[in-house]
Amino acid sequence: MSNLTLTKAELTRLLSAFAWISFGIFALIAFIQFETLQKDYWLGLRYMSYGITAASAALFFFITWAWKWSWVARLMRRSVVHGVWAGRLQSDFKKEGGGSVDLPIVFVIRQTYLTLSVRSLTRSQRGTSSLEALSRDEKTQDTHLSYVFKLDQPWVPGGKYGSGAGELQLEASDTILRGVYWTDSPTHGTLRLKRVSPDVEGISCFEDALRKFPAFGRAEL
Least confident of 28-37, 100-109, 157-166, 200-209: 28-37
194 exposure class (CB count in 10 Å sphere: 0-12, 13-18, 19+): middle
Look at residue 194 and tell me whether its pLDDT is greater than 70: yes
Look at residue 177 and tell me whether its pLDDT is greater than 80: yes
Distances from the Cα of 206 to the Cα of 102, 189, 217, angstroms = 16, 20, 10
Predicted local distance difference test score (pLDDT) of residue 122: 92
Stated pTM of the model: 0.80
Interval 50-71 mean pLDDT: 84
100-117: pLDDT as tens digits: 788 999 999 999 888 899
Distances from the Cα of 27 to the Cα of 56, 101, 108, angstroms = 16, 63, 44
Interval 28-40 mean pLDDT: 74
What is the rounded CA–CA span in Å between residue 127 and residue 159? 13
- The helix/strand count (H/E) of the chain reads as 6, 9
- Phi-psi sector, 84: left (phi>0), alpha (psi -120 to 50), beta: beta
Interval 110-130 mean pLDDT: 92
Helix (H) or strand (E) holding 17: helix 8-32
Look at residue 165 and tell me whether its pLDDT is greater than 90: yes
What is the rounded CA–CA span in Å between residue 122 and residue 177? 17
Look at residue 96 and tell me whether its pLDDT is greater than 80: no
**72 and 78 Cβ atoms separated by less than 8 Å:** no
Among residues 134, 142, 104, 101, the alpha carbon closest in space to that of 120 is found at 104
Interval 8-15 mean pLDDT: 78
Longest dimension (CA), the chain: 89
Predicted local distance difference test score (pLDDT) of residue 3: 65
> Which residues neighbour 30 within 8 Å (Cβ) at sequence distance 6 or greater?
37, 44, 47
What is the rounded CA–CA span in Å between residue 30 and residue 201? 46
Question: Which DSSP string corresponds to 32-75?
Answer: HTHHHHHH-TTHHHHHHHHHHHHHHHHHHHHHHTGGGSHHHHHH
Question: Which domains can be identified in the chain, with CATH numbers?
Answer: 3-76 (no CATH), 83-220 (2.40.128)
CB atoms within 10 A of CB 42: 7
Of residues 103 and 219, more confidently modeled: 103
Q: For residue 219, give the 3-state DSSP assignment.
A: helix
76-88: pLDDT as tens digits: 888 999 999 999 9
Task: Please report, to the nearest 10 degrees, the dihedral formed by the alpha carbons of residues 25, 28, 29, 35 taken in order.
Answer: 160
What is the rounded CA–CA span in Å between residue 135 and residue 133? 6
Interval 122-133 mean pLDDT: 93
Mean pLDDT of the chain: 85
Look at residue 17 and tell me whether its pLDDT is greater than 90: no
